[in-house]
Structure 1
C-alpha cells in the first residue's frame, strides 16, 4: 500500500535525510520520499501495523503527524534530528 503522511517540524534537507534513513530501516517499508516544501512523506508499506510503526518512529524523531500534539519536546527532538541529518 502507498500513502502520504503530512508532518510537523520538517525544515530542511537535514531533516529529510534523517527521516529517510530511519524509515528505510523498518522492514516492509520502502520507496520513502520526503517533500520538504509540502512537509510530507510518501512511502510504500505492507500493512497497517507497519504504518503505525512509521508514525511512531516519526514522533520519536520529533516529526509528529499534522494534527497531533507538537510540544516543545517534539520541536527540540526535530532540531537534533535535523542536525544529525546534516552531518551524515
Structure 2
C-alpha cells in the first residue's frame, strides 16, 4: 500500500534527507519520498503495524504527522535531524 502523510516541522532538504534515510532503514518500507512544498512524506508499506512504526519514527526524529502533538522537544529534534541531513547530503 502507498500512503502520503502530511508532517510538521519540515524545513528543507536536510530534513528530507534525514526522513528518507531513517524510513528507508525500516523493514518493509519502500519508495520513500518527501515533498518540501506540501510538507508530505510518501512511502509503500504492507500492514498497519508498519504504518504506525513510520509515524513513531517520524515523531522520534522531530516530524510528527499534522494533528499530532508537536511539543517543543519534538521541534528541537527536528532541528537536530535537519542538521544531520545537511551534513550527510
Normalising TM by the smaller chain, what interval?
Answer: over 0.9
Question: Does the residue aligned with 1:68 lie in a helix, a strand or coil?
Answer: coil
Runs of 4 or more consecutive aligned structure 1 residues displaced over 2 Å after TM superposition: none
CA distance in 2, matches of 1:42, 1:65: 12
Q: How far off is 1:71 after superposition? A: 1.2
Alignment of 1:1-80 (within 5 A): 1-80=1-80
Question: Does the residue aligned with 1:64 lie in a helix, a strand or coil?
Answer: coil
Question: Does the residue aligned with 2:66 lie in a helix, a strand or coil?
Answer: coil
What is the aligned residue count? 88
TM-score by length of 1: 0.99
Question: Does the residue aligned with 1:27 lie in a helix, a strand or coil?
Answer: coil
Name stretches of at least 5 consecutive residues in structure 2 with no aligned partner.
none
CA distance in 2, matches of 1:25, 1:71: 25
Question: Does the residue aligned with 1:76 lie in a helix, a strand or coil?
Answer: helix
Name stretches of at least 5 consecutive residues in structure 1 with no aligned partner.
none
